[in-house]
Amino acid sequence: MPLDPADWITATKDALKTTALGPRAEHRGRVEEIGDGVAMISGLRDVRLDEVLRFAGGQTGFARVLDPGLIGCVLLDAAMDVQAGDAVFGTGEVVGVPVGEALLGRVVDPLGRPLDGKGPVEAEAHLPIERPAPSIIERDLVTQPVQTGIVVVDTLFALGRGQRELIVGDHSTGKTTLAIDAMIAQAHSDMICIYVAVGQKTSSVRRAIDALQSQGNFARCIVVVAGASEAPGLQWIAPYAGMTMAEYFRDKGQHALIVIDDLSKHAATHREIALLTRQSPGREAYPGDVFYIHARLLERAAKLSKERGGGSLTALPIAETDSGNLSAYIPTNLISITDGQIVLDAALFHQGQKPAVDVGLSVSRVGGKTQAPVLRRAAGTLRLDYAQFLELEVFTRFGGMPDGRVRDQLTRGARIRETLRQSQHAPLRLADEVALMLAVQAGLLDPLPLAAVAQFRAKLPALLDRDAPEFPSVLAKTGELDDTTHKDLMDVLARFVTSLADGTAPANP
C-alpha cells in the first residue's frame, strides 16, 4: 500500500528528532601509489600503527609504516579496484579477529571470514591480533606432557604444555605431516588444535584438512588459511590471528596447540612488505625487525599460573631450510627463540626412515621434565644406545668383523631404528609406546628379523587390547605401571615375539 503523505511527514520529523545534527570530523586521505598489495597514502596524520584503513571501494588494509609524509598501508583484500587518487578513511580500530567456541570445526581466513561454506562465524568477541605476551610472574613451569603419538618425539624429545618447539627441515621432508600427526593425536585429549597455513599451496592445505577430518577430531580444531595466492597482508597477519584465537582458550584455563606452517614464508612476506614500503634492508634484504616479529609472536605461547587459570598454549612453528643449512638467517633466529628443535633430514627421508628426525641435531630444552614418568623409565638409555649404534654403524661400513659385544649393539640399534619408524597419520597411544619401549629395551626384539619387528610394531595396539586390556586402562588412570601389571605385560609381549619368530602369529591379533 502507498504511504500516506501525512504519515510520511510524521515519520520524517520523528527521524530528524533522533538524528544528531552538526559538524562531523572525518579522517580522510588519498592514495598516492598502489602496487603489489601495498598502498602509499597521504593526508591521514592521526593514524596509529596497525590501524584498519578503509578504501572508497570497500577494501581494507592496515597501516604498517608511519612516515611523516606518507603512510604505508598493506592491503587485506585484492588491490585490483584500488587506484591512485582514491579516498581512504581511518577507522580508529586496529586489526582484530573473532574468537570463541564458534570457530571450532571451521576453516577461516585470518580475519575470521569463513572459507568452508558453512555461513558466518558467530563470534563471542573480537580481539586484536597483537597482544602482549604473559609476563614472567603470570607463567608457571612447563611440566605437563603433550603426547604427540609419535614414538621418536615422545621418547627422545618430549614436549610440554606451554613449550615452543621448532620443526625445521628441507622442502618435502615431512614437517607438516609431523605437525598434523601431533594434532591428530589430540583427538581424545583435552587440547584444542589450531593449524595456521601461511603461503601454502591449496593442495597442501586440502591434504592437511582431509587428514584432520578423517583421522582427528576436527570438531575441536580451527584451520586458518592464508594461501600463496592471497594478499600479502593476509599472509602477514595469519600467525598473529591464529595465536589470538588460541589465546582465547588458554585464558579460559583450557589447553591449546598451535601449528604455524610456516614461518619461513612469513619472513619472506615480511621482507616483501618491508621493501615495498621502503624500509631499510639488512642481512639478506630482511628488515632489522625480522627477529622481533617472530619473538613477540612465539613468546605468547606459555603455561599460565594457577592464578591466571592454569591454561596453556603450546606452539609448533615450522621453518624450511635450504640444503639442510641450519645456520641460515631465519632458522638461526627461530632456533634461538624456541625451546628446542626437531630437525628433519632429507637423507634419512629418502632412505625410508620416517619420520626423518635427525637424533643428533634435534633437542628439547624442556625434555625429561615433561615426559611421562612411565615412558621415561621404559625408554631408559634409548637415546644413548641409538647414538652409539649410529656411530658404530658408520665405522663397521669400512669392513672388518666386529666382536660379539659390538654385534649385539648393532643388532639392538637396528631394532631401535625400526621401532622409531612410523606411518603417517597413525599416532600411538601412551600404552603402545610404553609397551614398545619395554620390548626393545628388554631385548625381546633382538632375535627377530627387521621385517618381523615392523610386524610387531604394527600389531602391538591390537595385541594389547586383546591380551592385556587392563594395561592401557591402568596406565590412563594412574600413570604408573605396578609390578604385577608389568610382569603380565612382559609375558604377553614375550609370547607374541615367540609366535612371530616361529611364524605362528595370527594375522590380526
Give the pLDDT confidence score for residue 294 in this predicted structure: 97
300 has pLDDT over 60: yes
Share of the chain above pLDDT 70, in %: 96
**Measured distance CA(224)–CA(196) in Å, rounded:** 5
Q: How many CB atoms lie within 10 A of CB 110?
A: 28
**Measured distance CA(281)–CA(279) in Å, rounded:** 6
Give the pLDDT confidence score for residue 479 in this predicted structure: 79
Residue ranges of domains in the chain, CATH in brackets = 28-94 (2.40.30.20), 98-371 (3.40.50.300), 376-501 (1.20.150.20)
Give the pLDDT confidence score for residue 21 in this predicted structure: 66
Least confident of 105-109, 116-120, 404-408: 404-408
Q: Is 353 left (phi over 0), alpha (psi -120 to 50) or beta?
A: beta
Q: How many CA atoms lie within 13 A of 365 on its CB side?
A: 13
Least confident of 10-24, 172-186, 422-436: 10-24
DSSP 171-211: TTSSHHHHHHHHHHGGGGSSEEEEEEEES--HHHHHHHHHH
**Measured distance CA(377)–CA(471) in Å, rounded:** 16
**Measured distance CA(461)–CA(438) in Å, rounded:** 14
User: Each residue of 304-315: pLDDT tens digit?
Assistant: 999 999 999 999
**Measured distance CA(245)–CA(251) in Å, rounded:** 11
The DSSP secondary-structure symbol of 368 reads: G
Give the pLDDT confidence score for residue 3 in this predicted structure: 56
Give the pLDDT confidence score for residue 415 in this predicted structure: 92
One-letter amino acid for residue 482 of the chain: D
Mean pLDDT, rounded, of the chain = 90
Look up residue 12 and give its three cell numbers: 520524517
Give the pLDDT confidence score for residue 504 in this predicted structure: 64
Q: Which of 276, 267, 242, 273 is nearest to 257 (CA)?
A: 242
Binning pLDDT at 50, 70 and 90, where does residue 503 land? low
Residue 314 CA to chain centroid, in angstroms?
8
Strand segments, DSSP code E, in 232-271 are 255-261
**Residue 242 near residue 196, CB atoms below 8 Å:** yes
**Residue 318 near residue 260, CB atoms below 8 Å:** yes
**Measured distance CA(201)–CA(198) in Å, rounded:** 9
What is the Cα gyration radius of the chain? 28
DSSP 110-148: TTS-BSSSS-----SEEEES--PPPPGGGB----SEE--
Look up residue 444 and give its three cell numbers: 625381546
Binning pLDDT at 50, 70 and 90, where does residue 8 land? confident
User: Each residue of 85-98: pLDDT tens digit?
Assistant: 999 999 989 999 99
Query: Stretch 342-364: mean pLDDT, rounded?
Result: 93
One-letter amino acid for residue 321 of the chain: T
Return the higher-pLDDT residue of 501 and 105: 105
**Residue 509 near residue 498, CB atoms below 8 Å:** no
Look up residue 399 and give its three cell numbers: 669392513
Residues catalogued as catalytic: 365
Show contacts of 287-291: CB within 8 Å, 24+ apart. 290/329, 290/330, 290/333, 291/333, 291/337
DSSP 282-329: -GGG-BTTHHHHHHHHHTT--BBPGGGTS-EEEEEEEEE-STT-TTSH
Q: Which of 158, 139, 140, 138 is nearest to 148 (CA)?
A: 158
Helix or strand run (H / E) with residue 458: helix 450-467
Query: Stretch 254-280: mean pLDDT, rounded?
Result: 94
**Residue 51 near residue 92, CB atoms below 8 Å:** yes
Residues near 400 by Cβ (< 8 Å), separated by ≥ 6?
A: none
